[in-house]
């Protein structure tokens, strides 16, 4: 419950399905919406049953507080007054202290604690530009092995104020001013970019500038992937990306080390915040009159700037969607973003993702106790919040930070995604009171195992075109994900229907991972065309039917 508002908090409870022994199996409570910044929250456990079905007695240390039994223990007695206050506040919302198995309270971090470093970096770094373009250099151009409608792929570098030590390398930490504690820059970072240039831009200019966010442990080169090239060609969009340092290809080694020693972990969110700044600088570079359009590689056949510099836009997938919500929340040069196969809160995402499987063994070896692992996820999330959507979500759309415009986002989510759990995208939508496209899933999928709470409190879009933000599910016919902290391929149903004697079904729509599907749909490209323009709106690209995806292997790109 929210002690400041008196409202109950929607949430679900799950037992740790990855624990091998019941004694180490944690009870995990997951809010279904982001907890309001600076508010005080209490958790009250009642009617807790043991494995025999009998109600468990409250722990003795808590029971003497609940039942107002004095003790000679100073640790307990010094907390009695604060618990009396909690009991009174809980009673106001109908929680009887006599029914409690356990209760505790906490205060949620403030916007400044979560985003203050990033906003300080942004304001300082853009202040250093003094209205000028970031410095950049083109390093290469490729005109071969391209999709139809693409003229070239251009690579280069640009300079960004650096707020990390050790040159910003993996393992580096944020540097702070001794005067006010804000991040401080005393060097520059050379970030790379990759851009896909459509033929239409060379011929006629007016390319829509789209900042692209790549996937997990990838690089800027994903901006030249076949699906991005197809989108760029279809929409006359210039797609450019830089690397999400902190979770880029160059970070694989350090990320593995951090899982074996979580004391190393703080470097990852520190570098992710630098990567967000790099991404903001790339957006400015794309739309500044003295930016990319000043280079011959970004000029039309008439010699003019091929880029429509009115506004930038953002498009990201997977990690690019998870990071994209954070960077969009602080973006000043774009107001519309599409976050593909997205989510938030890595402490929920990791154990539900097949991508984490290759790293999970490292964590288990270093921290073999399942309770320690859950504690580690909770601890590192408090730092990770500063470098992913979860720490910025309350300001992603209409409760913008100072000196920041409001934003509109489309969440394009793959039902049954094996890599990014859709439940966390639903949490984003609930937090922002974002409507969902309906009908959400196809009737032919009739997904066995769909939990009603997944779509709880997500109203439908009443009228198209819709001005605002929206959640859209894309249905490839994939089976419903399991309820719990396991991957889809660990579920009993997937094992029964997609492995062993049924291994031949593994590539079927029912069993295959739909993660790559939404971004490749022509309808999604059409959706982006309407959204990535001034006053862009959400359009109905599914003809009043559920949005059904053609599997990416059938599309061939």
* Each residue's pLDDT tens digit, 240-289: 999 999 999 999 999 999 999 999 999 999 999 999 999 999 999 999 99
pLDDT of residue 444: 66
pLDDT at 312: 99
CB distance 151 to 202 below 8 Å: yes
Question: What beta strand segments (E) does 166-285 contain?
Answer: 187-198, 208-213, 237-241
In a domain, 61, yes or no: yes
Closest CA to 416 of 480, 371, 342, 360: 480
What is the pLDDT at residue 51? 87
Burial 319-337 (b: 16+ CB within 10 A, else e): bbbbbbbbbbbbbbbbbbb
What is residue 350's predicted lDDT score, i.e. its pLDDT?
98
Task: Identify the residue whose tokens are 């974002």.
Answer: 434
CA distance 121 to 331: 12
* Dihedrals phi, psi of 245, to nearest 5 degrees: -60, 140
Q: How far apart are CA 324 and CA 321, in angstroms?
A: 5
Phi and psi, residue 211, nearest 5°? -80, 130
182: Cα separation from own chain's centroid = 25
Q: Phi and psi of 262, rounded to 5°?
A: -70, -10
Position 453 scores a pLDDT of 76
Pairing assessment for the beta strands 208-213 and 312-317 based on DSSP bridges: parallel
Q: Are residues 98 and 236 in the same domain?
A: no
Query: In sequence order, which residues have a C-beta less than 8 Å from that of residue 247 and are 6 or more positions away?
Result: 216, 217, 255, 268, 272, 319, 323
N- to C-terminal Cα distance for the chain? 47
What residues form DSSP beta bridges with 198?
150
Do residues 259 and 312 lie in contact, with contact meaning Cβ atoms separated by under 8 Å? no
Do both 80 and 153 map to the same domain? no
Is 6 within a domain?
no
Helix (H, G, I), strand (E, B) or coil at 161: strand
Q: Are residues 340 and 370 in the same domain?
A: yes
C-alpha torsion angle, residues 87, 92, 98, 99 (rounded to 10)? -110
Please say whether the beta carbons of 202 and 306 come within 8 A: yes
Q: Are residues 178 and 322 in the same domain?
A: yes
Do 79 and 167 reside in the same domain of the chain? no
Whether residue 4 is contained in a domain is answered as no
The pLDDT, as a whole number, for residue 452 is 74
Q: Are 358 and 257 in contact (CB under 8 A)?
A: no
Q: Which helix (H) or strand (E) is 90 found in, with range?
A: helix 80-91
In a domain, 16, yes or no: yes
**254 in Cβ contact with 166 (< 8 Å):** no
Provide the pairing of β-strand 237-241 with 187-198: antiparallel
Residues counted in the chain: 557
* Tokens 């993660």 found at: 515
- Cα–Cα distance for residue pair 474/77, rounded to 1 Å: 55
pLDDT, one tens digit per residue, over 15-36 is 999 999 999 999 999 999 999 9
Average pLDDT by consecutive 10-residue portion of the chain (557 residues)?
A: 95 96 96 98 96 95 97 97 96 95 98 99 99 99 98 99 98 97 98 99 98 98 99 99 98 97 98 99 99 99 98 99 99 99 98 96 97 97 98 98 99 98 98 97 69 88 98 96 96 96 94 98 99 97 96 91
Rounded to whole angstroms, the Cα distance separating 295 from 304 reads 10
Q: State the total domains in the chain.
A: 2
The residue from 89, 111, 133 where one domain ends is: 111
Q: Judge whether 456 and 10 are in contact, CB under 8 Å.
A: yes
With respect to residue 421, please indicate whether it lies within any of the assigned structural domains: yes
CA distance 349 to 347: 6
- Cβ(292)–Cβ(158) under 8 Å? no
Indicate whether 197 and 65 sit together in one domain.
Answer: no
Residue 98: inside a domain, yes or no? yes
Residue 132, class by beta-carbon neighbours within 10 Å (0-12 exposed, 13-18 middle, 19+ buried)? exposed
Q: Give the residue numbers spanning the domain of 66.
A: 11-111
| Residues 342, 355 share a domain | yes
Same structural domain for residues 243 and 104? no
Q: Report how far Cα 241 is from the mean position of its chain's Cα atoms.
A: 17
Site of tokens 């790339």? 282
Q: Which value, to the nearest 10 degrees, does the dihedral of the CA atoms of residues 152, 323, 247, 298 take?
A: 20
Tell me if 3 is assigned to some domain. Answer: no
pLDDT score, position 451: 76
Domain match, 47 and 116 both: no
Q: Are residues 121 and 98 in the same domain?
A: no
Contact 469, 425 (CB under 8 A): no
Instruction: Please report how many Cα atoms fall inside a 13 Å half-sphere around the Cα of residue 208, on the Cβ side.
Output: 23
For 415-504, list the strands marked E by DSSP. 470-474
Residues 289 and 178 in one domain: yes
> Which residue, of 111, 143, 178, is where some domain finishes?
111
Residue where the block lists tokens 């020693």: 261
Q: How many helices (H) and strands (E) does the chain have?
A: 17, 13
Q: Which of 111, 130, 150 marks a domain boundary?
A: 111
Place of tokens 């109908």: 94
| Residue owning tokens 């949490």 | 427
Structural contact between residues 38 and 108, judged by C-beta atoms closer than 8 angstroms: yes
β-strand partners of 195: 154, 240
Distance CA 11, CA 31 (A): 4
Residues 518 and 494 in one domain: yes
Residue 1 within any structural domain of the chain: no
How far apart are the C-alpha atoms of 126 and 134, rounded to whole Å?
Answer: 9
């Amino acid at each position: 419950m929210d002690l400041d508002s008196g409202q109950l908090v929607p949430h679900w409870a799950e037992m740790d399905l990855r624990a091998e022994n019941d004694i180490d199996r944690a009870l995990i409570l997951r809010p279904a919406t982001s907890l309001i910044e600076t508010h005080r929250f209490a958790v009250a456990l009642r009617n807790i049953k043991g494995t025999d079905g009998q109600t468990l007695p409250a722990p003795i240390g808590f029971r003497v507080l609940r039942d107002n039994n004095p003790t000679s223990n100073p640790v307990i007695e010094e907390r009695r007054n604060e618990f009396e206050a909690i009991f009174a506040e809980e009673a106001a919302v109908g929680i009887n202290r006599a029914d409690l198995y356990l209760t505790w309270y906490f205060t949620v971090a403030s916007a400044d604690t979560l985003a203050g470093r990033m906003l300080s970096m942004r304001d300082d770094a853009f202040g250093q530009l003094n209205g000028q373009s970031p410095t950049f250099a083109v390093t290469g151009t490729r005109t071969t092995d391209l999709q139809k409608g693409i003229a070239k792929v251009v690579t280069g570098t640009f300079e960004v104020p650096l707020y990390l030590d050790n040159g910003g390398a993996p393992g580096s930490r944020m540097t702070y001013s001794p005067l006010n504690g804000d991040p401080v820059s005393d060097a520059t970072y050379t970030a790379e970019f990759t851009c896909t240039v459509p033929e239409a831009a060379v011929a006629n200019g007016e390319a829509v500038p789209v900042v692209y966010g790549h996937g997990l442990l990838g690089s800027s080169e994903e901006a030249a992937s076949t699906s991005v090239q197809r989108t760029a060609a279809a929409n006359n969009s210039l797609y450019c990306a830089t690397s999400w340092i902190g979770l880029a290809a160059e970070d694989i080694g350090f990320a593995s080390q951090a899982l074996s020693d979580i004391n190393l972990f703080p470097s990852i969110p520190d570098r992710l915040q630098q990567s967000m700044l790099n991404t903001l600088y790339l957006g400015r570079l794309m739309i500044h009159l003295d930016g990319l359009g000043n280079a011959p590689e970004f000029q039309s056949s008439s010699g003019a700037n091929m880029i429509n510099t009115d506004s930038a836009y953002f498009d990201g997938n997977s990690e690019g969607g998870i990071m994209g919500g954070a960077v969009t929340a602080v973006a000043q040069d774009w107001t519309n973003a599409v976050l593909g196969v997205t989510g938030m809160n890595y402490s929920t995402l990791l154990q539900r993702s097949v991508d984490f499987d290759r790293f999970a063994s490292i964590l288990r070896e270093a921290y073999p106790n399942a309770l320690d692992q859950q504690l580690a996820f909770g601890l590192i999330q408090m730092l990770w919040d500063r470098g992913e959507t979860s720490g910025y979500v309350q300001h992603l759309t209409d409760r913008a930070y100072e000196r920041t415009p409001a934003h509109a986002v489309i969440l394009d989510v793959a039902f049954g995604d094996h890599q990014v759990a859709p439940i966390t995208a639903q949490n984003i939508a609930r937090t922002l009171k974002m409507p969902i496209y309906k009908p959400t899933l196809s009737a032919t999928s009739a997904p066995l195992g769909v939990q009603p709470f997944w779509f709880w409190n997500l109203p439908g879009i009443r009228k198209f075109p819709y001005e605002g933000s929206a959640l859209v599910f894309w249905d490839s016919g994939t089976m419903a994900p399991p309820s719990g902290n396991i991957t889809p391929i660990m579920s009993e149903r997937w094992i029964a229907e997609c492995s062993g004697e049924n291994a031949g079904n593994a590539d079927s729509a029912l069993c295959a991972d739909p993660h790559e599907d939404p971004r490749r749909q022509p309808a999604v490209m059409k959706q982006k065309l309407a959204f990535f323009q001034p006053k862009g709106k959400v359009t109905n690209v599914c003809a009043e039917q559920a949005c059904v995806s053609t599997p990416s292997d059938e599309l061939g790109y």
